[in-house]
Amino acid sequence: MPPRATDARRAAVLGSPIAHSLSPVLHRAAYDALGLSGWSYDRFETDEAALPGFLDRLGPEWAGLSLTMPLKRAVIPLLDEISDTAASVDAVNTVVLTEDGRRLGDNTDIPGIVAALSEHGIDEVGSAAILGAGATASSALAALSRICTGQVVAYVRSEARAAEMRRWGERLEVDVRTADWADAGQALRAPLVIATTPAGATDALAAAVPERPATLFDVLYDPWPTELAARWSMFGGAVVSGLDLLVHQAVLQVERMTGRSPAPLEAMRHAGEKALAGR
């Protein structure tokens, strides 16, 4: 049974560093739109060492947690159950706290990527390229396992990273080929390019954007646009931003934590855009 609007419930985002997180803006906008006046959403600077104690101190008023780095894998042993989606990449970004005290882990990044692409008309691609090989790259690969019918080429900086991406490909049943980062300019000719690298890492690739680019999904949102995204747009290519991902994964978190569906996507997006414009 969904909670009443006046029920006093708490949720928060945990991670380190966490001061930059837009999650409080998005979730609070959702609570306002849903009329959940008794709900609050905060942020807490929390690392792996502090996480077990934080979880143990949570009272019955807590409904859920959003997790960012470096907690997405560290939390798994502390949970009672995780979803198949979270298990597929060994990463939890959402913890739902039940009335009977159970901790349920999920991953909304993967369906969030799929939803963000679908919103831009991308429901299926024949092939794709991934720039980078970190935790976000594995989630991107899991999302591509749902919509990509052919090969995914991952451009990485080391053989260790390349081997990791190939292992993820085997696990997720995706045809993955790895290539050296020095050749990353070739990635930009793919029907879908997903950039999962930190700020500045793809700036040098902007000059290699082809005359008729297809679709770029850049997971960054601050600062925005990245040099690559700006050049991509200038050449008429479609661009999906990190804010698109952040909003879609947060929509799913709100629905799981509150029991209310659908979550107010546009109100959350508007709040995120307004917050970013003010930075």
Active site residues: 72
Q: Any long-range contacts for 259-263 (C-beta under 8 Å, 24+ apart)?
A: 259/1, 259/2, 259/3, 260/2, 260/34, 260/36, 263/30, 263/34
Residue 255 has which token pair?
Answer: 């629905």
